[in-house]
């Protein structure tokens, strides 16, 4: 057996590779430079063009570009009307922002457990948590795989709930042929550099509902309106605008919009490459009892953002930390997505107990994300496969 690098053996590769990174090319740089020469470098024509482009890609009637994915979630939660005394059911395996947006509005996040095979929010867990105070659901397309819309949409309809889809991982994904972004009441995207396409920082909310759209647009810019029909004191004075809500400055710049427009043109290529890498990993790990491969539901045509390597504790003599450290020493640097949100100490102080979502906690204990991004070469992919196989062989438990 090959000696692991962590014990002084030769690493599988010389240069470290991380779990994700952006892919910026010359045309992206040119697009940004051109935007910088324009008359308006924020809230100008590129924002409108970007919003049209996002509507087209997602099939949603309206898109609102914002400063980042967290701002998108915050505005969506406010537009949904979440507030004091309300409960909102949230996936437990997600980035903290999916739940923080509920707290921002003064409502209470209630954490649902995950499906142990897909790692997405489990509709049965959601149903058990519904009370007369429940107002909505924040469901995350974890790793890019669409949530179980058939079940969630039925639950929302039966109980009058607002569905906010956190699609930070899922631009390019389709559910039963329909693009993510046009299915939930509101869908939130992030364009952070590790996500599938980037604007440096950036986000968007898509919706088909005109009322929600107007509210989102207003809240993005201080709650100020120029639309006379919305004013308490309409006048024909050309300078007059009126603040009618407490909003924010969550605008995206035209510089960022230019970068994102350029990146969105590459979405089909990025998406195809991600799918290709996922197929290679799935095939390489399929016959390894040490590794559990994420289940894909047939409804979701997934542009995968993360590749989850889930260890099978019954077939390994090591724990997650040892496996993680051994991979790092081979120069393949994983990351863990995510600590169940309610286990963050901030949430612990709010009174959420350990053991709340058993499937989420079991998932967390044995999982990590291995490199997945479109600029990976075939060599990078094969190095990653070799590193995983090498570490798994070393720690294999004889049964
Ligand atoms: C990245 C991410 C966010 C937040 O997006 P930002 O653009 O970083 O604010 C929210 N939810 C999920 C699931 C994410 O992965």
Tell me the pLDDT tens digit for each residue of 239-255: 999 999 999 999 999 99
Three-state secondary-structure class, residue 20: coil
Residue from 166, 190, 204 to probe ligand 1 pocket by mutation (most atoms less than 8 Å from CB): 190
Q: Whose CA is nearest to atom 15 of ligand 1?
A: 168
Residue 399 has pLDDT above 90, yes or no: no
Q: Whose CA is nearest to atom 6 of ligand 1?
A: 69
Sign of CA dihedral 229, 234, 240, 246: negative
Lowest-confidence range among 30-44, 66-80, 114-128? Answer: 30-44
Q: What tokens appear for 147 in the block?
A: 């949530």
Which protein residues touch ligand 1 with a CB less than 6 Å away? 68-70, 94-95, 97-98, 140, 166, 168-169, 190, 192, 203
Q: What is the mean pLDDT of residues 190-201?
A: 97
For residues 180 and 173, the answer to whether their CB atoms sit within 8 Å is: yes
- Residues forming beta bridges with residue 165, ordered by sequence position: 139, 187
Q: What tokens appear for 331 in the block?
A: 């120069």
pLDDT value at residue 232: 96
Q: What is the mean pLDDT of residues 7-17?
A: 97
Residue 205 has pLDDT above 90, yes or no: yes
The pLDDT tens digits for 16-34 are: 999 999 999 999 999 999 9
For residues 380 and 363, the answer to whether their CB atoms sit within 8 Å is: no
Looking at the CA of residue 68, tell me the nearest atom of ligand 1. Answer: 7
The residue among 366, 310, 307 whose CA lies nearest residue 142 is 307
The pLDDT tens digits for 175-186 are: 999 999 999 999
Residue 64 has pLDDT above 90, yes or no: yes
Cα–Cα distances in angstroms (integers) from residue 253 to residues 42, 43, 67, in the given order: 4, 6, 8
DSSP track, 41-85:
SBSSHHHHHHHHHHHHHHT-SEEEEESSHHHHHHHHHHHTT--TT
The residue among 111, 219, 85, 90 whose CA lies nearest residue 165 is 90
Domain ranges of the chain: 5-11+267-394, 26-264
- Residues forming beta bridges with residue 110, ordered by sequence position: 89
Lowest-confidence range among 40-49, 147-156, 166-175? Answer: 40-49
What percentage of residues in the chain have a pLDDT greater than 70? Answer: 100
Measured from the Cβ of residue 390, the count of other Cβ atoms closer than 10 Å reads 21
Residue from 70, 90, 138, 191 to probe ligand 1 pocket by mutation (most atoms less than 8 Å from CB): 70
Residue 224 has pLDDT above 90, yes or no: yes
Q: What is the mean pLDDT of residues 325-343?
A: 98
pLDDT value at residue 377: 98
Average pLDDT of the chain, as a whole number = 97
Q: Which CATH topology does 5-11+267-394 take?
A: 3.90.1150
Burial of 96 (0-12, 13-18, 19+ CB in 10 A): middle
**Band of pLDDT at residue 238, cut at 50, 70 and 90:** very high
**Band of pLDDT at residue 43, cut at 50, 70 and 90:** confident
The pLDDT tens digits for 289-330 are: 999 999 999 999 999 999 999 999 999 999 999 999 999 999
Cα–Cα distances in angstroms (integers) from residue 23 to residues 194, 198, 259, 325, in the given order: 9, 9, 11, 27
d(CA 270, CA 201) in angstroms, rounded, equals 19
Q: What is the pTM (predicted TM-score) of this model?
A: 0.97
- Stated as kind and residue range, the H or E segment containing 325 is helix 320-329
The pLDDT tens digits for 342-373 are: 999 999 999 999 999 999 999 999 999 999 99
Residue 1 has pLDDT above 90, yes or no: no
The pLDDT tens digits for 117-142 are: 999 999 999 999 999 999 999 999 99
pLDDT value at residue 93: 98
Residue 65 has pLDDT above 90, yes or no: yes
Residue for token digits 């960022």? 256
Q: What is the mean pLDDT of residues 324-342?
A: 98
pLDDT value at residue 85: 98
Query: In this structure, which CATH number among 2.60.260.20, 3.40.50.300, 3.20.20.80, 3.40.640.10 belongs to the domain 26-264?
Result: 3.40.640.10
Looking at the CA of residue 195, tell me the nearest atom of ligand 1. Answer: 1
Ligand 1 centroid to 342 CA: how many Å? 17
d(CA 218, CA 233) in angstroms, rounded, equals 17
Three-state secondary-structure class, residue 124: helix
d(CA 300, CA 45) in angstroms, rounded, equals 34
d(CA 1, CA 399) in angstroms, rounded, equals 18
Measured from the Cβ of residue 218, the count of other Cβ atoms closer than 10 Å reads 22
């Amino acid at each position: 057996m090959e000696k692991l690098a962590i014990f002084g053996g030769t690493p599988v590769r010389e240069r470290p590779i991380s779990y994700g990174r952006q892919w910026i090319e010359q045309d992206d740089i040119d697009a940004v430079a051109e935007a910088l020469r324009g008359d308006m470098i924020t809230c100008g024509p590129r924002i409108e063009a970007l919003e049209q482009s996002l509507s087209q890609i997602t099939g949603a009637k309206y898109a609102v570009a914002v400063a980042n994915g967290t701002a998108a979630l915050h505005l969506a939660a406010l537009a949904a009307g979440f507030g004091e005394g309300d409960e909102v059911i949230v996936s437990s395996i997600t980035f903290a922002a999916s739940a923080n947006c509920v707290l921002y509005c003064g409502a209470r996040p209630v954490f649902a457990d995950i499906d142990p095979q897909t790692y997405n929010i489990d509709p049965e867990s959601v149903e058990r948590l519904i009370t007369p105070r429940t107002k909505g659901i924040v469901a995350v397309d974890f790793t890019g795989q669409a949530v179980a819309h058939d079940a969630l949409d039925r639950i929302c309809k039966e109980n009058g709930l607002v569905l906010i889809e956190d699609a930070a991982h899922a631009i390019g994904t389709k559910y039963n042929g329909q693009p993510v972004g046009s299915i939930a009441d509101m869908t939130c995207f992030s364009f952070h550099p590790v996500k599938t396409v980037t604007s440096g920082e950036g986000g968007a909310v898509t919706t088909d509902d005109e009322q929600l759209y107007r509210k989102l647009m207003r809240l993005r810019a201080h709650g100020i309106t120029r639309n006379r029909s919305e004013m308490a004191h309409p006048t024909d004075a050309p300078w007059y605008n009126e603040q009618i809500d407490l909003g924010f400055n969550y605008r995206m710049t035209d510089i960022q919009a230019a970068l994102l427009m350029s990146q969105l043109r590459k979405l089909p290529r990025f998406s195809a490459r991600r799918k290709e890498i996922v197929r290679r990993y799935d095939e390489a790990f399929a016959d390894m009892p040490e590794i559990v491969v994420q289940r894909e539901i047939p409804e979701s045509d997934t542009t995968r953002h993360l590749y989850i390597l889930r260890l099978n504790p019954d077939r390994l003599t090591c724990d997650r930390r040892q496996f993680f450290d051994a991979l790092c020493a081979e120069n393949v640097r994983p990351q863990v997505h995510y600590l169940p949100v309610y286990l963050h100490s901030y949430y612990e102080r709010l009174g959420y107990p350990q053991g709340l979502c058993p499937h989420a906690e079991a998932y967390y204990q044995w999982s990590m994300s291995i490199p997945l991004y479109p600029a990976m070469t075939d060599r990078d992919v094969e190095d990653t496969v070799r590193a995983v196989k090498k570490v798994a062989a070393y720690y294999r438990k004889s049964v």
